[in-house]
Structure 1
Amino acid sequence: MADHEESAMEKITEKLRGDDSSSSSSSDSDDVNTSPASSLKSKVFRLFGREKPVHKVLGGGKPADVFLWRNKKISAGVLGGATAIWCLFELVEYHLLTLVCHGFILALAVLFLWSNASTFMKKSPPQIPEVHIPKEPVVQLATALTIEINRAFGVLREIALGRDLKQFICVIAGLWILSFLGSCCSFLTLFYIAFVLLHTVPVLYEKYEDQVDAFAEKAMIEIKRQYVVFDAKVLCKIPKGPLKAKKV
Structure 2
Amino acid sequence: MPIYTSSEAEESNDHNGLSGKLFGRERSLHSALGGGQVADILLWRNKSLSAAILLGFTMIWFLFEVLEYNFVTLVCHITILVMLMVYITYTAAKFTDWDLPDIHEITIQESAFRWTYRKLNLVLLRFYEISSGENFLEFFLVIGALWMISVIGNHFSSLNLLFFCVICLGTLPALYEEYEKEVDHLISKGRKDARKMLKKFDAEVLKKIPRGRVKEKKRR
Q: TM-score, normalised by structure 1?
A: 0.62
Q: Which residue of 2 aligns with 1:143?
A: 118
Q: Which residue of 2 aligns with 1:196?
A: 167
Q: 1:103/1:46 Cα in 2 relative to 1: closer, same or farther (>3 Å)?
A: same
CA distance in 1, matches of 2:61, 2:30: 27
Q: Among 34, 37, 46, which residue is 1:71 paired with?
A: 46
CA distance in 2, matches of 1:61, 1:43: 30
Residue identity matched to 1:133: I
Q: 1:112/1:223 Cα in 2 relative to 1: closer, same or farther (>3 Å)?
A: same
1:152 equivalent to 2:127? Answer yes
CA distance in 2, matches of 1:71, 1:124: 30
CA distance in 2, matches of 1:209, 1:203: 10
Q: Which residue of 2 aligns with 1:211?
A: 182
Instruction: Give the helix-richer structure, 1 or 2.
Output: 1
Q: Which residue of 2 aligns with 1:109?
A: 84
Deviations 1:116-170 (A, max 9, x none): 5666x587895553421111221122111111222122112216xxx63x54553
SS of the aligned residue for 2:154 comes to helix
1:3-18 → structure 2 map (5 Å cutoff): none
Q: Which residue of 1 aligns with 2:61?
A: 86
Q: Which residue of 1 aligns with 2:28?
A: 53
Superposition RMSD on alpha carbons, in Å? 3.3
Give the C-alpha shift of residue 179 in structure 1: 0.8
Q: 1:65/1:168 Cα in 2 relative to 1: closer, same or farther (>3 Å)?
A: closer
Q: 1:123/1:167 Cα in 2 relative to 1: closer, same or farther (>3 Å)?
A: closer
- Corresponding residue pairs, total: 186
1:177-192 → structure 2 map (5 Å cutoff): 177-192=148-163
Gapped regions of structure 2 (runs ≥ 5): 1-15, 208-220
CA distance in 1, matches of 2:17, 2:61: 46
Divergent runs of 4+, >6 A: 122-125
Which has the greater radius of gyration?
1
Deviations 1:194-246 (A, max 9, x none): 1111121111111221121122223345666759x6xx99xxxxxxxxxxxxx
